[in-house]
Amino acid sequence: MSVSDVALEGRGLRLSYHGTAVVHEVSVALRTGAVTALVGPNGSGKSTVLRSLARLHKVDVGAVLLADGLDAHGLGAKEFAHRVTLLSQSRPQPSGLAVRDVVAFGRHPHRARFSGLGDADREAIAHALAVTGTDAMADRAVDELSGGELQRVWLATCLAQDTGVLLLDEPTNHLDLRYQVEILDLVRDLADEHQVAIGIVLHDLNQASAVADDIVLLHRGVVRAAGAPADVLDAELLSEVYGLTVHTALDPDLGTVRVEPRGKHHLRRA
């Protein structure tokens, strides 16, 4: 990986809650046009690391760097928001607004105070609506949307911010199977077709295997493995980290690693 490939990097991060370190010497680099998945058990530090990359969690030790080694904490809030956006798990529930109006919130960093939408803003909003497939519902009230539709609207809001780095914290959480697939397809398209650098927290290891170029496996606040899915999703390592028997196999049709946890009631069928 060359330095020019890196769009956002956390280097040697130590992160704490209430004075207790929960992440220790973690480094992660997000590449332009690539998807990096942060995975690991509950409490492993995935979301904390992601929030630190978004400058929403204080860094005790280490640095958050943008392209060419630029210190992210040296930028003003608006300038940073021109480069990096985060879709977090906790978001306000909008009411009484049309989808288009919610997506327009993403243009806030690009607008002068109290100014209206300019041509560039309208173009960015239209692009975000089209890319996420929400243009057909642009005039609908967000109160009428399903959970999956609203998730796409929030993603469109992030895209309207027009940054080169997109951070996603469990974007498939609470979605049914169809919307999970659609969100992950969109993530892959953003990296492949729009050269966005994407960092995504996922619990489902099969989803991570399917969507990610790189996987970072965290456990108890440290990186246990990082690299291509086939290298990180090792049965012995996953069994140790998750505390149960895990089997892995290469899917002959998709070419991705399939992860299968085995509980005590798992049945082998001939």
pLDDT for 201: 97
3-state secondary structure of 21: strand
pLDDT for 270: 46
Buried b (16+ CB within 10 A) or exposed e, 186-224: bbbebbeeeebbbbbbbebbebbbbbbbbbbbbbebebb
pLDDT for 269: 55
CA distances (Å), 239 to each of 33, 103, 226, 256, 262, in order? 31, 42, 16, 19, 10
Bridge partners (DSSP) of residue 245 are 262
Report the chain (270 residues): mean pLDDT per 10 consecutive residues. Answer: 78 96 97 97 96 96 93 93 89 85 90 77 92 91 88 90 94 83 90 95 96 97 96 96 94 89 68
pLDDT for 4: 57
3-state secondary structure of 186: helix
* pTM check: above 0.85: yes
**CATH class (in words) of the domain with range 1-83+163-244:** alpha beta
- In the chain, CATH 3.40.50.300 sits at 1-83+163-244
Residue 112 CA neighbour count, 13 Å, CB half: 3
Q: What are the respective helix, strand and coil percentages of the chain, to the nearest 5?
A: 40, 30, 35
Query: How many CB atoms within 10 Å of residue 171?
Result: 24
Token reading at 112: 């002068």
